[in-house]
Amino acid sequence: KSKRFTRILSIGIGGSALGPQFVAHALGSSSDSMKPYFLDNTDPDGMDLVLGKIGDDLTETLTIVISKSGGTTETRNGMLEAAAAYEKAGLTFEKHTVAITGAGSKLDTIATNGNWLARFPMWDWVGGRTSELSAVGLLPAALQGLDIDGMLEGAARCDEITRSKDSRSNPAALLALAWHHATSGRGRKDMVILPYRDRLQLLSKYLQQLIMESLGKEKDLDGKTVNQGIAVYGNKGTTDQHAYVQQLREGVNNFFATFIEVLRDRGGESIEVEPGFTSGDYLSAFLQGTRRALHENNRESVTITIETLDPQSLGALIALYERAVGFYASLVNINAYHQPGVEAGKKMAAAIIGLQKKALAYLGEHSGTSYSAEEIAKAINEEDNTEYIFKILEHASLNTDHKVKKVPGKTPVESRYEATV
């Protein structure tokens, strides 16, 4: 156990968070070398919750800031919030922090100039959603005390197998072909991820990004509009049998299920919950029973079987899905490795921030006078954005940082707002 650090605070979003969270949950235990925490959003209350859980242990917490470009807004905000928490505790943020980023990025410059503890590389050709087996995922996992060599070994073995040119002996090709068959190659059915193991509960969130960000594309490689993609959701079995499996069996047939089966129940012996039967026997029976119930009602499914959930099998599972995504993209002629839709959302968010600056500046320049959202929009020549200005003012009026007072109207849109001193 580290003499200095006993906690990890990982700050990142998207592929810089989902993979590390998934692996930490899947392989972690009470005997971990360092306990992991994550800031993966720009939600102030959420960050307060995480930092509150760390509490006085902040002095023993190593922060990892992860961003390839170094310009990811949510990650920057998390970094600044964490730095403020360290400062409030009388600690030096830079002496508790390392960066995982691209060479020469904004974050790389900040870490260099601030003399952070260390900097680890993110290669430009590795996308966030396929970065779990790079420093992004391996560093926090190693600090947690997980067997990263085992993960890499499992991934390497899977890579070797999935390079086979014979699709019948290539599991990633078979998986991609199954997706293509189920969705008619047009995303006509959703993918439901059902791992029957609590430790794999975050698999669906991890695969949601990997698959949807990779395959959800408007244009194909020839520039033709195709609107490709496969929607992914899920949680875990048997829990989901008491949630939405009712609809899967008897509702609209717009999905195919993926069952993840783990044969070994636990490390030691199990008690009998009934003569001759363990809890694990029931877990297995519920998986097979649900699979059969869906099949009897013409609901398609794929089953992936793992003997033991360990670093090797988890690394192989990650590699399997990464390769299957690439194969499917080739089948439908799209680029799996860019994300123009994500960039569009970032640009729109920046525009909203600009709109907020204009609206609040106008209020500040006319303090003492109240205005409706419509009046402000007209005054700053943003009539087309009246709805967004209304949302901005509603948010500002409930957060004292902005010093905006709301005077409620008969209806929400008739409310008026004024700057307060």
User: What are the catalytic residues?
Assistant: 213, 242, 346
Q: Is the dihedral of CA 352, 353, 358, 361 positive or negative?
A: positive
357 close to 387: Cβ distance less than 8 angstroms = no
Distance between CA atoms of residues 415 and 401, nearest Å? 20
Q: Tell me the CB-side half-sphere exposure of residue 344, using CA atoms within 13 A.
A: 6
The distance in angstroms from the start CA to the end CA of the chain is 52
Q: Which residues have C-beta within 8 Å of that of residue 344, sequence separation ≥ 6?
A: none
Write out the two tokens for 353: 């921030």
Distance between CA atoms of residues 28 and 319, nearest Å? 20
Distance between CA atoms of residues 10 and 267, nearest Å? 29
Distance between CA atoms of residues 44 and 214, nearest Å? 29
Strands 404-407 and 416-419: antiparallel
By residue count, the chain amounts to: 421
Distance between CA atoms of residues 281 and 283, nearest Å? 5
CA 165, distance to chain mean position in Å, is 32
| Cis? peptide before 386, omega within 30° of 0 | no
Distance between CA atoms of residues 49 and 40, nearest Å? 12
